[in-house]
Structure formats: C-alpha cells, structure tokens
C-alpha cells in the first residue's frame, strides 16, 4: 500500500471518529456529485483540507502515543521478569 492510500484512509477514519458516520457518508456523496473533495470539506465540515489534516495528525499522535506507552510498559515488565 502506498503512503497516499494510508494517509487517505486515516483521514476517513478520523472524520468518522470525530464527526460521525452520517457526516462521513454525506461528505462522500457530495464529493462524488461535485467531484471536488476539497470544496466538500469546506461545505460539510466548515474546514479546509489543511485544517482536517492538522486535526488528524493530532488525533493519531494522541491515539498511538498511548499505545506506545502501554507497549513500553509491557516490554519493561518483561525485561524485569525475564531478564
């Protein structure tokens, strides 16, 4: 999978999380009709693509920071018990 596909998927995942499935569906439907996804971000979310990308980056940074911290704790505990 190319990086652009991963980034695209992560934007849709973020929109679904933050704004809900109905907003995501409306965004998809409207962007297919107008063939202008950036304009539909403005119309549907009242934000431009750059704002959405910044919000997505903060969301995933927080999401995976907790995962990395938990994983580090497990590794540290394993090192303690198993040397």
- Mean pLDDT computed over 39-59: 88
At 41 the pLDDT is 87
Q: Please tell me the pTM assigned to this model.
A: 0.64
Q: How many CB atoms lie within 10 A of CB 23?
A: 14
The arithmetic mean of pLDDT across residues 59-83, rounded, is 70
Residue 74 clears pLDDT 70, i.e. is over it: no
Quick one: pLDDT band at residue 64, thresholds 50, 70, 90? confident
Closest CA to 59 of 1, 8, 11: 11
Is the pLDDT score of 65 beyond 80?
no
């Amino acid at each position: 999978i190319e990086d652009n596909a991963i980034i695209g998927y992560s934007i849709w995942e973020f929109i679904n999380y933050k704004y809900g499935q109905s907003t995501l569906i409306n965004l998809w439907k409207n962007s297919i009709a107008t063939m202008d996804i950036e304009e539909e971000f403005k119309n549907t979310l009242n934000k431009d693509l750059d704002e959405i990308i910044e919000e997505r980056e903060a969301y995933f940074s927080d999401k995976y920071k907790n995962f990395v911290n938990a994983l580090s704790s497990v590794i540290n505990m394993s090192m303690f018990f198993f040397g």
